[in-house]
A and B are shown apart, each in its own frame.
Chain A
Amino acid sequence: MDDYGPLLVRLVLIVPTCSAALLAYFPDDRATGRLNAVASFITFLASTSLLVVRPAPTAFLIVDDVNVVFILLNTFVGFTTSVFSASYISHEIETGRLTPAYLRFYHAMYQGLMFSMNLALLANNVGLMWVAIELATLTTVLMVGIYRTPAALEAAWKYFILGSVGIALALFGTILVYLAASSAAGEGLDAMAWSVLVTRAAEFDPHLLNVAFVFLLLGYGTKVGLVPLHAWLPDAHAEGPTPISAVLSGLLLNVALFAVLRFKMVMAANPGALAPGPLMVALGLLSVLFASFMLYRRHGIKRMFAYSSIEHMGVITFAFGMGGALANFAGLLHMAFHSLTKSAIFFSVGHIAQIKGTQNMTEIRGLTVSHPVLGWGLVLGVIAIVGLPPMGIFMSEFLIITSTFARQPALAIALALGLLVALGALLLRLNGLAFGDPVGSDARSQASFIPMFAHLALVLAAGIYLPAELVAWFQYAAGLLG
């Protein structure tokens, strides 16, 4: 079985690459959506095999217990989003918002994005990871601007400039980490390999690591969407195609956070280095409080859920910043639940915005009356995202707050305040969106509801009963995060 290991790891990367090339030239614009979904499904299957097969790390690729969680989540949501994307895109062709040429480009970029995110997660080399995250930024920039409206171009441009500055800072941090490592681990590839960095971190120069971590946190933190580096995020979510909003919120933010976590592990392994926790806690808490108050003033439906993503990335960063087995465990859970829930919400929001022809929430009312399935899907999604029981997010947020309360009561109170404020804002908006007299078009949609309800069912099931194997697996990964 071991012989197949390296092949399976590469399959997670090769399938998206080949399908990106294929989709770029595929002439039939009806079948491309389905082909995209099939390719994503094969990638997901290949990634599930990594649970069983664990090849030895090479100079460039590594599979360990931490990144397997991220890769599985990434390929799974990538697959369900591609199913949603197929029905979303067929509506866009009918209304003529996208031409066949743009469609081919869109699908090629979708697979390109999957490739670069998987590469960033699998990379055993900090330089390679940086290149992969940069590639992921570029592909999403191109997709955010795909509608070519002034607003879309503006959003893409802003994302591009802020994202580029972010990754420039991250590269400087990466160079400093290499410098710190090369004095202990020798020059060359070893000094950039995760497997080496984590095990030998104690020998590195702590002062260099401190400065490096500040650059890395600010750089990759821009991509996570932490306040005050979040300015690109709401516009990119609002103006791009909705499948991309789902992938951005559900996956790309996680990938950037994963990069921060990897470097946090290196910092934690060095006794002389600055504790990375307080910095992450501060940025996380700031994001939660800022985003939750901002939720009240939103008018665009996608923009509102984008702010909710900032809030949740703040919660996750806060949890990992607190550190310790319990908070890390809760952070990992919260990350998985947020990815599933937020992408489910965007699936329903995508169809809603298509039917109503607007994102303005004052023109969307009474969805449970006019479109019961979509409307109740949205209600369920919002109930999950604000952290009401019995959904999974309730459990992870509860764990984060209680574990924090035991150590830093003041921080726990501030976090709980942010979460309550966000809950108020979202439920207030949901009341208008879902109930009352319907406003606007009540056209039927040929939506595929399976991805949305599959995600919500997973979050609900996990909230009620979390299998012991899953708990053990997440706890082990959480232990490794330090």
Chain B
Amino acid sequence: MDRLALDVAHMFAGGLVLVSFMLLYQDRMFGLLNIFALHALVVSLSVAWQAYIQLAPHLYITAGIALVVKAIIIPVALHRIIVRLGIHRTIETIGGIGRTMLAGIALVALSITVMLPITAAAGTLTREDLAFSLSVILLGLLMMISRRNAVSQIIGFMSIENGLILAATAAKGMPLVVEISVAFSIIIALIVVGIFLFRIRERFDTVDVHALERFRGSL
């Protein structure tokens, strides 16, 4: 049973990293949404499994939130927004899938070399989940910087959040996990509402403040 518990948890966490890679190379908006729904489904299964093996029933709430909000409501809402904004045919330029994937692989290697040695004292399950969750977070960051579209950026952010939920459930007995996942859901709901209300199509071309200042002329 112990061995099985570990293997299943390992499968879900590894699956999450794999789905993160799939997010990296999606160039169609709807494809991206579907893969994100899969990402959320995998994280909710992983959390539910942790709830089961750690005998921590409150984690089922987190799993439920992940499933209902992130695997169903948000993708449906974003689907509508994409149609409404007329960007459903957009093919996003990701800037060299090969290079992005290589960078992703390097990030996973980095997170494993960082996390495994320092968590030697923790249990196997925690160690591996933490290494995987750091990989998911870094891949999400990579996705956020390699995309220009506001919707894709949000999906990148939500995948970071899924990685954090995985880390929080892996830290055995951590209090406030449910509260934190609720707080995160509020952020995400607000972002989605923001995009919808303000019709933010493009990420503003750059986060470089000087460029922004120049565009705006005198200000």
Enumerate chain A interface residues (CB-CB to B < 8 A): 125, 127-128, 130-131, 134-135, 138, 141-142, 145, 148, 151, 153-154, 156-158, 160-162, 164-165, 168-169, 171-172, 175-176, 178-179, 182-183, 187-189, 191-192, 205, 207-208, 210-211, 231, 234-235, 238, 297, 299-300, 303, 358-360, 362
Taken together as a complex, chains A and B put the C-alpha atoms of A368 and B144 apart, in Å, by 47
Q: How far is the CB of B134 from the nearest CB of chain A, in Å?
A: 7
Q: A153-B198, A164-B187 are in contact. Are A175 and B168 (CB under 8 A)?
A: yes
Q: How far is the CB of B152 from the nearest CB of chain A, in Å?
A: 12
Partner-contacting stretch, out of B4-12, B41-49, B176-184: B176-184
Q: A182-B171, A303-B219 are in contact. Are A131 and B157 (CB under 8 A)?
A: no
Which of A154, A176, A191 is in CB contact (< 8 Å) with B204? A154
Q: Would you mind naming 25 contact pairs between A and B with Cβ atoms under 8 Å apart?
A: A125-B175, A127-B174, A127-B179, A131-B180, A131-B183, A153-B200, A154-B212, A157-B194, A157-B203, A165-B160, A168-B160, A175-B164, A175-B167, A175-B174, A182-B172, A191-B173, A205-B118, A207-B118, A231-B208, A235-B209, A235-B212, A299-B213, A300-B218, A359-B219, A362-B218
**Shortest Cβ distance from B199 into A: residue:** A153
Chain B residue contacts of A135, Cβ below 8 A: 183
CB distance B118 to A187 under 8 Å? no
Q: Known pairs A134-B187, A160-B191. 4 more at Cβ < 8 A?
A: A127-B179, A171-B164, A188-B173, A360-B219
Q: How far is the CB of B77 from the nearest CB of chain A, in Å?
A: 17
Chain A residue contacts of B204, Cβ below 8 A: 154, 157-158
B128 contacts partner chain A, Cβ-Cβ < 8 Å: no
Chain B residue contacts of A179, Cβ below 8 A: 119, 122, 126, 130, 171
Taken together as a complex, chains A and B put the C-alpha atoms of A211 and B134 apart, in Å, by 12
CB distance B191 to A207 under 8 Å? no
Chain B residue contacts of A299, Cβ below 8 A: 213, 218-219
Chain B residue contacts of A300, Cβ below 8 A: 213, 218-219
* Interface 1/0 per residue, B118-130 and A, CB below 8 Å: 1101100010001
Taken together as a complex, chains A and B put the C-alpha atoms of A319 and B133 apart, in Å, by 34
Which of B115, B173, B210 is in CB contact (< 8 Å) with A187? B173
Chain A residue contacts of B176, Cβ below 8 A: 125, 127-128, 131, 192
CB distance B198 to A172 under 8 Å? no
Taken together as a complex, chains A and B put the C-alpha atoms of A153 and B202 apart, in Å, by 12
**Shortest Cβ distance from A131 into B: residue:** B183
Taken together as a complex, chains A and B put the C-alpha atoms of A172 and B130 apart, in Å, by 10
CB distance A208 to B118 under 8 Å? yes
Q: How far is the CB of B47 from the nearest CB of chain A, in Å?
A: 14
Taken together as a complex, chains A and B put the C-alpha atoms of A158 and B212 apart, in Å, by 11
Which of B161, B207, B218 is in CB contact (< 8 Å) with A158? B207
Query: DSSP class of A's interface residues: helix, strand, loop or mixed?
Result: helix
Taken together as a complex, chains A and B put the C-alpha atoms of A372 and B168 apart, in Å, by 57
CB distance A168 to B207 under 8 Å? no
Q: How far is the CB of A69 from the nearest CB of chain B, in Å?
A: 26
B3 contacts partner chain A, Cβ-Cβ < 8 Å: no
B95 contacts partner chain A, Cβ-Cβ < 8 Å: no
CB distance A165 to B114 under 8 Å? no
Chain B residue contacts of A211, Cβ below 8 A: 114-115, 118
Looking at B121, B174, B207, the one whose CB has the most chain A CB atoms below 10 A away is B174
Taken together as a complex, chains A and B put the C-alpha atoms of A309 and B168 apart, in Å, by 34
CB distance A172 to B164 under 8 Å? yes
CB distance A231 to B207 under 8 Å? yes
Taken together as a complex, chains A and B put the C-alpha atoms of A51 and B206 apart, in Å, by 46
Looking at B157, B172, B219, the one whose CB has the most chain A CB atoms below 10 A away is B219
CB distance B172 to A130 under 8 Å? no
Q: A179-B122, A179-B126, A208-B119 are in contact. Are A303 and B213 (CB under 8 A)?
A: yes
Which of A172, A189, A234 is in CB contact (< 8 Å) with B134? A172
Chain A residue contacts of B137, Cβ below 8 A: 168-169, 172
Which of B121, B161, B175, B218 is in CB contact (< 8 Å) with A360? B218
Q: How far is the CB of B114 from the nearest CB of chain A, in Å?
A: 6
CB distance A172 to B157 under 8 Å? no
B96 contacts partner chain A, Cβ-Cβ < 8 Å: no
Taken together as a complex, chains A and B put the C-alpha atoms of A299 and B218 apart, in Å, by 7
Which of A172, A183, A297 is in CB contact (< 8 Å) with B167? A172
**Shortest Cβ distance from B173 into A: residue:** A187
Looking at B118, B157, B194, the one whose CB has the most chain A CB atoms below 10 A away is B118
B98 contacts partner chain A, Cβ-Cβ < 8 Å: no
Taken together as a complex, chains A and B put the C-alpha atoms of A162 and B144 apart, in Å, by 10
CB distance B144 to A161 under 8 Å? yes
Which of A183, A234, A297 is in CB contact (< 8 Å) with B121? A183
B216 contacts partner chain A, Cβ-Cβ < 8 Å: yes
Chain A residue contacts of B62, Cβ below 8 A: none
Taken together as a complex, chains A and B put the C-alpha atoms of A192 and B210 apart, in Å, by 40
**Shortest Cβ distance from A162 into B: residue:** B207
Chain B residue contacts of A207, Cβ below 8 A: 117-118
B26 contacts partner chain A, Cβ-Cβ < 8 Å: no
B:104-156 near A, CB below 8 Å: 114-115, 117-119, 121-122, 126, 130, 133-134, 137, 141, 144, 150, 153
Q: How far is the CB of A294 from the nearest CB of chain B, in Å?
A: 8
CB distance A134 to B183 under 8 Å? yes
**Shortest Cβ distance from A126 into B: residue:** B176
**Shortest Cβ distance from A177 into B: residue:** B171
Taken together as a complex, chains A and B put the C-alpha atoms of A156 and B191 apart, in Å, by 11
